[in-house]
């Protein structure tokens, strides 16, 4: 979790600015706030880093996905194609807007594939909630072709891919709207926080109102202005925005260190037979928050994880652990155990969640072993890690021979 590694005087300074005024609310109160607008500054910083035309900060990444879906016009009864490999938040956002998730296959990019999306399309399909996983990016040229051919709405959950890009465009900016997460485990953290992005002014205006009970914030007169749409409370506080602002400024530096460390790891591990890597649709756009190994088969991956655990090397496989990022851990969804009925239970779904089979996704996730990359590692630590991983993988592969 690189952002937290660099937590320091910069974050404290931004927080103190807010504490000195006592104005923790992001709107109005011009006199008391004395020129301190951290949410606005946070948004400006993200705008600069990503190149997004419109940026709106919200209280967490899940709220940012929900806002992106809603502002893109996805709602009750709409089928939305989602990946089976993502943090559950992406699926929750679809479900709790009343839409119907339809799971499609991922590929070695660890993201939905164009082929997977195309096969999952039905007459009810309204859109795709694409998730850029493990610091990398989906294969956007191929995906945009399917999205355009079938006239689908594309929303991108780039919760794990802030600072990643594809052919020069930041993840999150290919579709109608996108989202980033600033929770504690991401490349930059606000403690809790999320970012909504779009290049479409109308979509932005809806999102801005939607995330604050429908207030349109015109005329810096919140509470007394117009209410174009019904909304909800997804506001970020000035304290969280202050942290997110300081952290966003550090992202280029974090990304550079991550990339250097990842290159060292890849250079060493490429020499071990049987180890390959998740496919980066654009290697130059990697945020390099994770090293993502693919072992030859799921049994070898399982044995490698056991060796890694035995040697205390770290690393995790999303299939054999309870990481909650793969559909095999989502029994509540398969059995529709809900606190209260969701629209999906009334509308029905064209996919049987308990019986669906996603062999390609299972094969890829079963072979995957990921390692979080730290930006503060020394070169000695990186080299030692690579050698230890190689040893464990070799021990696991000996059994095959
Ligand atoms: C972290 C994450 C989220 C959720 O973000 P929160 O800020 O924790 O709500 C959503 N999607 C993905 C892919 C994530 O990794």
Q: Residue 224: which pLDDT band, with cuts at 50, 70 and 90?
A: confident
**Do 191 and 312 share a structural domain?**
no
- Indicate if 318 and 235 belong to the same structural domain: no
Same domain membership, residue 189 and residue 288:
no
**Distance (Å, rounded) from C-alpha 284 to C-alpha 287?**
9
In a domain, residue 338? The reply is no
Instruction: Give the residue among 286, 287, 342, 294 at the shortest CA–CA distance from 319.
Output: 294
Residue 65, domain member (yes or no): yes
pLDDT for the residue numbered 159 = 98
Query: Residue 160 pLDDT more than 80?
Result: yes
Residue 164 lies in a domain: yes
Kindly report whether the global pTM for this prediction surpasses the value 0.85.
yes
Residue with the nearest Cα to atom 2 of ligand 1? 159
Q: Domain end: 210, 233, 250, which one?
A: 250
Whole-number pLDDT of residue 332: 96
The model's confidence at residue 401, banded by pLDDT at 50, 70 and 90, is low
Instruction: Tell me the average pLDDT across 139-151.
Output: 98
Domain check: are 309 and 382 in the same one?
Answer: yes
Percent of the chain with pLDDT over 70: 99
> What's the rounded Cα separation, in Å, for the pair 287 and 187?
8
Q: What number does the ligand 1 atom closest to the CA of 133 have?
A: 13
pLDDT at 326: 93
Do 214 and 284 fall into the same domain?
no
Q: Are residues 160 and 143 in the same domain?
A: yes
Among 250, 275, 307, give the residue marking a domain's end: 250
Say how far apart CA 287 and CA 262 lie, in whole Å: 10
**pLDDT, average across residues 115-132:** 97
**35 in a domain, yes or no?**
yes
Task: Give me the mean pLDDT over the 176-201 stretch.
Answer: 98
Q: How is residue 282 written in tokens?
A: 């654009």
Candidate from 89, 90, 327 with most ligand 1 atoms within 8 A of CB, to mutate: 89
What pLDDT shows up at residue 1? 63
- The arithmetic mean of pLDDT across residues 145-157, rounded, is 98
Are residue 71 and residue 203 in the same domain, yes or no? yes
Range(s) of the domain holding residue 304? 251-323+361-400
Give me the CATH number covering residue 317.
Answer: 3.90.1150.10
Take atom 6 of ligand 1 and give the residue whose Cα is closest. Answer: 61
Task: Give the residues across from 100 on adjacent strands.
Answer: 79
Kindly state whether residues 222 and 246 are assigned to the same domain: yes
With respect to residue 293, please indicate whether it lies within any of the assigned structural domains: yes
Q: Measure the CA dihedral 345/235/164/256, to 10°.
A: -140
Check: CB of residue 10 under 8 Å from CB of residue 250.
yes
- Write down the mean pLDDT value for the chain: 96
| CATH number of the domain residue 71 falls in | 3.40.640.10
Residue 207 sits in the same domain as residue 311 = no
Give the total number of structural domains in the chain.
2
Do both 221 and 115 map to the same domain?
Answer: yes
Residue 63 lies in a domain: yes
- Write down the pLDDT at residue 68: 98
- Best of 162, 183, 289, 327 to mutate for ligand 1, by most ligand atoms within 8 A of CB? 183
Looking at 250, 267, 299, the residue that finishes a domain is 250
Ligand 1 centre to CA of 216 (Å) is 26
Are 165 and 259 in the same domain? Answer: no
Instruction: Give tens-digit pLDDT for 300-357.
Output: 999 999 999 999 999 989 987 778 899 999 999 999 999 999 999 999 999 999 999 9
Give me the pLDDT at residue 400, please: 55
Whether residue 236 is found in the same domain as residue 294: no
> Is residue 239 situated within a structural domain?
yes
64-89 per-position pLDDT tens digit: 999 999 999 999 999 999 999 999 99
Q: Is residue 31 part of a domain?
A: yes
pLDDT tens per residue across span 368-395:
999 999 999 999 999 999 999 999 999 9
Pocket lined around ligand 1, Cβ cut-off 6 Å? 60-62, 86-87, 89-90, 131, 157, 159-160, 181, 183, 194
Separation in Å, CA 260 to CA 72, 132, 170, 374: 37, 21, 20, 11
């Amino acid at each position: 979790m690189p952002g937290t590694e660099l937590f320091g005087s910069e974050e404290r300074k931004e927080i103190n600015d807010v504490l000195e005024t006592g104005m923790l609310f992001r709107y109005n109160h011009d006199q008391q706030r004395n020129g301190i607008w951290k949410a606005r500054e946070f948004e400006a910083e993200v705008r600069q880093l990503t190149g997004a035309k419109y940026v709106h900060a919200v209280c967490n990444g899940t709220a940012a996905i929900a806002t992106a879906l809603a502002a893109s016009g996805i709602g009750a009864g709409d089928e939305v194609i989602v990946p089976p490999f993502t943090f559950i938040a992406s699926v929750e956002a679809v479900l709790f807007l009343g839409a119907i998730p339809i799971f499609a296959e991922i590929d070695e990019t660890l993201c939905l594939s164009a082929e997977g999306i195309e096969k999952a399309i039905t007459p009810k399909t309204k859109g795709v909630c694409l998730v850029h996983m493990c610091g990398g990016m989906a294969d956007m040229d191929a995906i945009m072709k399917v999205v355009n051919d079938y006239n689908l709405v594309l929303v991108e959950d780039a919760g794990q891919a802030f600072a990643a890009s594809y052919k020069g465009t930041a993840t999150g900016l290919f579709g109608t709207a996108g989202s980033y997460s600033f929770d504690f485990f991401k490349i930059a953290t606000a403690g809790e926080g999320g970012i909504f992005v779009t290049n479409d002014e109308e979509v932005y205006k809806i999102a801005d109102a939607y995330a604050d009970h429908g207030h349109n914030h015109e005329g810096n007169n919140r509470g007394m202005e117009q209410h174009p749409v019904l909304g909800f409370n997804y506001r970020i506080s000035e304290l969280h925005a202050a942290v997110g602002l300081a952290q966003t400024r550090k992202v280029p530096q974090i990304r550079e260190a991550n990339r250097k460390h990842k290159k060292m790891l890849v250079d060493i591990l490429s020499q071990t037979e049987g180890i390959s890597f998740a496919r980066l649709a654009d290697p130059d756009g990697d945020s390099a928050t994770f090293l993502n190994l693919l072992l030859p088969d799921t049994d070898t991956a399982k044995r490698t994880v056991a060796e890694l655990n035995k040697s205390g090397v770290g690393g995790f496989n999303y299939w054999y652990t309870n990481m909650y990022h793969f559909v095999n851990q989502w029994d509540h969804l398969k059995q529709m155990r809900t606190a209260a009925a969701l629209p999906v239970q009334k509308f029905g779904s064209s996919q049987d969640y308990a019986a669906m089979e996603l062999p390609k996704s299972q094969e890829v996730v079963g072979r995957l072993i990921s390692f979080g990359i730290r930006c503060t590692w020394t070169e000695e630590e990186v080299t030692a890690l690579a050698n230890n991983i190689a040893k464990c993988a070799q021990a696991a592969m000996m059994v095959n021979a």
